[in-house]
Amino acid sequence: MIPQAWKENKPKIMRRIVFFFLILGFGVLQNSGVLPDFFGLKFLPLLPLTVTVGMFERETYGLSFGLLAGILWDMNTATADGAYAFLFALAGFVCGLLMTYLMMNNLITAYILTGFWGIVYAVVSWLLSVGFSGVDGGWKLLLTFHLPSALLNILLMPIFYYIVRDIKKYFLSLENEELSF
């Protein structure tokens, strides 16, 4: 016997399951080192994916999916101690909140939000890896690696925006079909 809540919310639940496995899959790809480096820069797909999922799923689920992405990120770093889980949960929550009350969901706002959170990530990552240890010339690493890696993620963000948007549209069409009967 299938509960009534499952019948009524099946497209929403299935969409969120797809997003869960999408984040999980890209988290495994990112942490396994399979993704190539571009000119010595790291492509970190969890950053733009968290922002775009937060934009489409709004604040509550944005926070949840951001927390998942941050936990997957923290599993690969020895120095973070939950900092990325907090950062990505905050990113998903804030992006969802902005879409609900202040901004329109389009590619330009996705660029703006990914740019902002990319810079925040770069600074936090630099602080955790070099900044707090007081290495002489450590700021050069921020300018030559962390910020350019954030720029790479900003440039590749449309891939994730369109993937997440198409998943959302597909499941919304299923939801509308069920409501029309």
Within a 10 A sphere around the Cβ of 58, how many other Cβ atoms?
18
- Ordered by start, the domain boundaries in the chain are 10-36+43-174
Residue 54 pLDDT:
94
Strand boundaries in the chain, DSSP class E: none
Give me the pLDDT at residue 16, please. 92
pTM: 0.87
CA distance 69 to 162: 19
- Give CATH for domain 10-36+43-174: 1.10.1760
What is the chain's alpha carbon radius of gyration, rounded to the nearest angstrom?
18
Distance CA 130, CA 77 (A): 13
Phi, psi at residue 37, to the nearest 5°?
A: -90, 140
The number of helix segments (H) and strand segments (E) in the chain equals 7, 0
Spatial separation of the C-alpha atoms in residues 46 and 125, rounded to whole Å: 14
- Taking the C-alpha atoms of residue 159 and residue 129, their distance in angstroms, rounded to an integer, is 29
At 167, the amino acid letter reads I
What tens-digit pLDDT sequence spans the chain (181 residues)? 566 666 678 888 899 999 999 999 999 998 887 877 777 777 889 999 999 999 999 899 999 999 999 999 888 877 668 889 999 999 999 999 999 999 999 999 999 999 999 999 988 888 887 766 666 777 777 787 788 888 988 999 999 999 999 999 999 888 777 665 5
Count of CB atoms situated within 10 Å of the CB of 179:
9
pLDDT in the model for residue 6: 66
